[in-house]
Chains A and B, each alone.
Chain A
Amino acid sequence: MRREAAIVGIGQSEFSKRSPHSAWELAVQAVLAALLDAGLDASEVDGMCRFAPPFETVGEPMMVRGLGIGELAFFAESPLGGEALGAVVAHAVAAIATGQAKVVVVYRALKQSAGARFGRADQGPGGTAATGEHVLVPEDDNRSFAWPYGLLSPGQLFALWATRYLHVHGLREADLTRSLGTVAIQQRRYANENPAALMRDRVLDWETYTGARMISWPLRLFDLCLENDGACAFVLTSAERARSLRDDPVYVLSATQTLAPYREPMGLYTDDLLESFPPAAADRLYHGAGVSPKDISVAELYDATSFMTMKGLESYRFVPAGTGWKHLLDTGIGLDSPLPVNTHGGHLSEGYLHGMNGVTEAVRQLRGTARNQVRDAEVALVGAPSGSAMILGR
């Protein structure tokens, strides 16, 4: 897979709390922006990769018709939410490398203001309507063993991980607060420099961070990601075509997807709750790319909560297991640190786009056009938990 395909265009809609546009329109905006950036016409698109329903509501037929595309030769959907992030790229590269498609668009549109909020289980798909007196939960995905106990949202699950981390690694609660707060505040600082960020005008200081209400102990309000509307897209083509389109293509060095046992729901029954993805997954990622963690210039780590940024530092082997919190306190993730992380502000402060905005930010970093530019960025890692990740390079 290494350097067989490249990202030649990126695009995004406005991120907002309540968009006047439909998810369909937002997806179209992002894809058109990505095609314009690539210098490609919609008529050249012959492949699409996307997140599977119920997460992505805008289907391929809507996009083909909406963009006036003749026909698609390849389309693939990846399930399980954030774990689709590496998969949609891996599928696109595979399609290009095997000649099944020449120009592949990847897109993700969210309209959380119209329902399907991840922080509300009583709205939208995945939510369960009250039938008469009670809320009835079907047995699918083991939800009926979780929802009746009031375990319904990703934030609560990540809180269970964070408590276990606190215990296993022997932290004082104040250490955890300080390290998670370091993530939230640094990502906010990045967002304050990013005009596209939802929280661009909102400063976050320690007093505001620690004073915010507890959502699901030990996670506070600003430890959790935003809920918003918006869309991101990018376009991939072969390395050869990429070089003819632009002088700064961003090559896919590797992309992985991983499914470990007891995935449903969200790793709750995994033997070691803190093993958010199997160690072999990181090996595959680095081996595929031919690089090691020390070669990574910048990382965009999937941050449904601040805990995931911290855990991602360990999962992707930037620091030894159990030391992510210490690394945050001693070194941090700012532009002056050896590994700047979530330089767009991430899900906590730019916007929540299921990791897709981490890809577009990584591309900007490697082109040298990011708002919070890491000097001489050569190689970027974009990673969700559970071994769904990619390594991109100039």
Chain B
Amino acid sequence: MAILPVPGELTGPYWEHARRHELVVQHCAGCGAAWHPPLPRCPHCHSADLGWQPVSGRGTVYSYTIVQHATHRALAAEIPYVVAIVELAEGHRMVANIRGCAPEDVHIGQSVRVTFEDVTDEITIPQFTVER
């Protein structure tokens, strides 16, 4: 059992890009601002002319926790796992699990890069793995 996003009106394109192993954030064609998570309009110039732009997929760990108690039956087999807030090189923050090292070796400031996990035929989840 996996916990999966249901792509909606706002988030559909994000997950469609993820399925193609592209990490994107929403951006404004009017003023060039970019942000995550997505919004119906640009919060800066209020333009509705929005698109999606690729980001580097590189970032650092902004904060994290090692979850050792499952708060959902779907996670009983996953603990312990790391939930992190990753700050992308472009400045956007994203939630992710950290792959590629033991939970106790994760630390704030650690360099990470995006990796894509195909969970089902329709859904791919962007995750982050430590840079070697």
User: Chain A: residues with CB nearer than 8 A to chain B?
Assistant: 119-122, 128, 130, 133-139, 142, 144-153, 155-156, 159-164, 167, 213-219, 268-269, 273
Contact = CB atoms under 8 A, between A and B. Distances in A.
Given A122-B72, A149-B96, A137 B5 contact: yes
Identify which of A130, A135, A144, A147 gathers the most chain B CB atoms within 10 Å of its CB.
Answer: A144
Interface residues of B, number: 39
Given A150-B83, A160-B64, A167 B108 contact: yes
B75 A150 contact: yes
Contact of B65 (A137, A152, A217, A268): A217
B54 to A, nearest CB: 18
Given A130-B74, A139-B8, A147 B68 contact: no
CB-CB nearest 8 A-B residue pairs: A144-B5, A159-B65, A139-B8, A217-B66, A164-B63, A167-B108, A153-B71, A215-B69
Instruction: Summarize A's interface: helix, strand, loop or mixed.
Output: mixed
A268 B18 CA distance: 21
A301 to B, nearest CB: 22
A380 B109 CA distance: 40
14 contacts: A121-B71, A134-B1, A136-B4, A138-B6, A142-B37, A145-B11, A147-B3, A150-B97, A159-B67, A160-B85, A164-B108, A167-B108, A217-B65, A268-B85
Nearest to A166: B108
Contacts of B96: 149
B95 interface: yes
A167 B72 contact: no
Interface in B1-45: 1-11, 36-37
Nearest to B103: A217
Nearest to A132: B1
